[in-house]
Amino acid sequence: MKRIALLGCGSMGTQIALTIDSNDFPAVLTHVYDASKAASSSLVEKLNNKPEIVENSHLLSSQHIDIVVEAASQDAVKDVALSVLQNKKDLMIMSVGALLDESIYDILSDACKDFKKTIYLPSGAIAGLDGIKSVKSELESLSITTTKHPRSLKGAKFFENSDINLDKIDSITTIFDGTAKEAVSLFPANINVAALLSLTGIGSKQTKVRILADPNTDKNTHHIEASGKFGKMTFTIENFPDKNNPKTSRLAILSAIETLKKYCSDEIQIGT
């Protein structure tokens, strides 16, 4: 049975942990860490099988485990990912935006080869990535338009230098229009889907991103358009936000759980 360590005990990490803790999941959660000791303690209290709370994030990868699951932040990825691979553990990353830092991407790619380990990237809150990947060599344009309720965007770095008041938005408003590289830097907790899309397709500087705030929506909607020599693809995904964290779509959590389940089981894989 696979042994899992969890980095990040917030809303997403908690849902992943509760699923692993269920009787029918082919793995065991053995260690957890969160920058907030209260968050990690609160999580452990909810579980039947009590994982050990380690004192710092780097201790996760020194344990007798198979994979570290990151559900914390881009900064956590930049801080911990290399040591996980160096300790010869696999890694699953939810904060994919960290990989748009080219130096981080190159370092981790080399580490995967050097230490013969794998980084897993769940599809998150979008779909259609297999299709995008299959036409990558013929892609000429790729864009994603994300629409969320204003409350889902609160706290983003973008608003530190913006005059936009999210509380006063009363109709659909364009918040951002630029590249995936810019978007992921300014909205690190909101738009990891753009990072994943750009890594699958034509890169973060060529992938266009629009972020809309709609006070009348109860969904996180992602509309993807891809075109090139192959023809054209469009995908629209309407996700309900996670009830405990509106910045995260329920689909993102489900994709993380499914990716982890595939890693831990011997079942037949479709489309992989």
Token readout for 134 is 């299959």
Token readout for 234 is 């469009």
Question: Residue 67: what pLDDT?
Answer: 97
- The structural domains of the chain, ordered by start, are 2-121+252-264 (3.40.50.720), 129-239 (3.30.360.10)
Q: Is 222 a catalytic residue?
A: yes
Question: Residue 267: what pLDDT?
Answer: 53
11/36 Cα distance (integer angstroms): 13
| pLDDT for residue 271 is more than 80 | no
Q: Is 192 annotated as a binding residue?
A: yes
Percent of the chain with pLDDT over 70: 97
131/78 Cα distance (integer angstroms): 29
Q: Which of 182, 175, 246 is nearest to 194 (CA)?
A: 182
116-166 pLDDT per residue, tens: 999 999 999 899 999 999 999 999 999 999 999 999 999 999 999 999 999
Question: Residue 247: what pLDDT?
Answer: 81
**Contact (Cβ atoms closer than 8 angstroms) between residue 221 and residue 208:** no
24 — pLDDT class (breaks 50, 70, 90): confident
Question: Residue 245: what pLDDT?
Answer: 82
64-85 pLDDT per residue, tens: 999 999 999 999 999 999 999 9
Q: Is 81 annotated as a binding residue?
A: no
Average pLDDT over all residues of the chain: 94
Name the one residue in this structure whose structure tokens are 């964290």.
245
Choice among 58, 149, 222, 223 that is catalytic: 222
Question: Residue 266: what pLDDT?
Answer: 61
Question: Residue 243: what pLDDT?
Answer: 84
34/74 Cα distance (integer angstroms): 14
| pLDDT for residue 269 is more than 60 | no
